[in-house]
Structure 1
Amino acid sequence: MFKAGFNLSTDSHLDAAIHNKAYVGVFQRNKKGILEQICDGGVIESHCEISVKMAGGYFLKENCVFRIV
């Protein structure tokens, strides 16, 4: 459904990624504003209002960018 590099920016995108078992990477901006990958990726297990659960951890939506890899 999604192509590599697509940002999962809405709850609907996250739901679709879960449904399709899409491989997702987690990125975060460093102090210089450059986007860096902080998690090699995995399949999203679940998400709520504030976080996404995947790869054995929780990632805050407000701090991270979730991207199809």
Structure 2
Amino acid sequence: MFKSGFLLDTDEKITAALYNQTPVSVWKNGKLYYEGGPIQEQTEEAVYINDGYFLKATCIFKIA
């Protein structure tokens, strides 16, 4: 569905990646912060990947 590097910039895109179990990378301050994996859950404030959480306000999520 998504290509590598595709920006997940809306809750709907994050939900689609969660549903498809697409591996996601996490970026912070323009640098790769976490290579990631499939999204386990999302809330209004955070995305949960591999039992860790990343705040939407400070992180950028992309398809790995």
Unaligned 5+ segments in structure 2 are none
In the alignment, structure 1 residue 8 sits paired with structure 2 residue 8? yes
Cα displacement (A) at 1:66: 0.3
The residue that corresponds to 1:58 in the other structure is 53
Aligned pair count? 64
Please give the alpha-carbon distance, in whole angstroms, between the structure 2 residues aligned to 1:56 and 1:20: 18
Unaligned 5+ segments in structure 1 are 30-34
Bigger CA radius of gyration: 1
Please give the alpha-carbon distance, in whole angstroms, between the structure 2 residues aligned to 1:17 and 1:42: 10
Task: Give structure 1 regions of 4+ aligned residues with deviation exceeding 4 angstroms.
Answer: none
Cα displacement (A) at 1:56: 2.2
Normalising by structure 1, we get a TM-score of: 0.89
Please give the alpha-carbon distance, in whole angstroms, between the structure 2 residues aligned to 1:23 and 1:12: 16
- Aligned to 1:12, what secondary structure does the other structure show? helix
Cα displacement (A) at 1:41: 1.2
Please give the alpha-carbon distance, in whole angstroms, between the structure 2 residues aligned to 1:6 and 1:48: 21
